[in-house]
Amino acid sequence: MFSPMIRELMESLRCLPGVGPRSAQRMALHLLERDRDGAVRLSAALKQAAEGVGRCQHCRTLTEEKVCQICANPGRDEKLLCIVENPSDVMAFEQAGGFSGRYFVLMGHLSPIDGIGPEDIGIEQMLKTVADNRVDEVILATNPTVEGEATAHYIAEELKSLGVTTSRIAHGVPLGGELEFVDGGTLAHALAGRKKVEI
């Protein structure tokens, strides 16, 4: 019963993750009834970003610049390279603070079932970066999932011959979490990875 333009708006909003038919209707009517300026601004931002955002030449993260702000920062240690799956992982590390090296963003993980191989996640470019910059240590910070672990393992194998130190971020019980709410896999991992307490 909604007019064609409103129906098209509702259907288009479904491309957003987590937005079903009910939320799409609520969003479309909210914008049309109360925030047309917001709708126009969002329209422009979507078009600009969809057409303008590419990849950083060095680390592959999403950016409209040739080189992202982190890669362009001469203060970041190029001997230390942290490999992550997604741009949001870079953000998570930056917000946590304490890391002064550089990143390499795979923009995914190995997934033979989906036909995603090493060439799709920039492995060759990463190996070249490690060699060119004479990187001392590569930190594998892919997700603690089956695919993330497999990807980390594959990269570690590839790095072997380059004589670079390779490390994996620690997995275990999250700080501030209560044991009873931690899933079994994490708990088993935390137990197996226990460290001697020095006193």
Query: Would you tell me which residues interact with a second copy (CB under 8 A)?
Result: 1-6, 8-9, 11-13, 15-18, 23, 25-33, 35-36, 38-53, 62-65, 68-70, 86-88, 90-91, 94, 107
- Largest CA-CA distance found in the chain, in angstroms, rounded: 73
Binding Zn ion (rule: CB under 5 A), the pick from 9, 13, 56, 135 is 56
Q: Measured from the CB atom, is 88 or 167 closer to a second copy?
A: 88
Query: Which alpha helices (DSSP H) does 35-113 contain, by range?
Result: 36-52, 87-96
Tokens 């001392």 -> residue: 136
Which one, 91 or 131, has the nearer CB to a second copy? 91
Burial of 141 (0-12, 13-18, 19+ CB in 10 A): buried
Stretch that binds Zn ion, among 5-13, 27-35, 41-49, 66-74 (CB under 5 A): 66-74
Tokens (6 digits) for 21: 């038919």
Q: How far apart are CA 59 and CA 102, in angstroms?
A: 8
Alpha-carbon dihedral sign for residues 19, 23, 25, 28: negative
18 binding partner (options a second copy, Zn ion, none; Cβ < 5 to 8 Å by kind): a second copy
> In the bound complex, what is the minimum distance in angstroms from residue 119's beta carbon to Zn ion?
20
Closest to 186 in 3D by CA, of 176, 173, 175: 173
Residue of 170, 167, 171 lying closest to 140 (CA atoms): 167
Pairing type for strands 101-105 and 137-140 reads unpaired
Which entry of a second copy, Zn ion, none binds 58, CB below 5 to 8 A by partner kind?
Zn ion
Q: Is 84 an interacting residue with respect to Zn ion (CB under 5 A)?
A: no
90 is a site residue for Zn ion (CB under 5 A): no
Total residue count of the chain as it appears in this document: 199
Please state the closest distance from residue 188 (CB atom) to a second copy, in A: 29
> Taking CB within 5 to 8 Å according to partner kind, which of a second copy, Zn ion, none is near residue 90?
a second copy
Tell me which of 28, 59, 83, 126 binds Zn ion, using CB under 5 A.
59
Task: Note the residues at the interface with Zn ion (CB under 5 A).
Answer: 56, 58-59, 68, 71
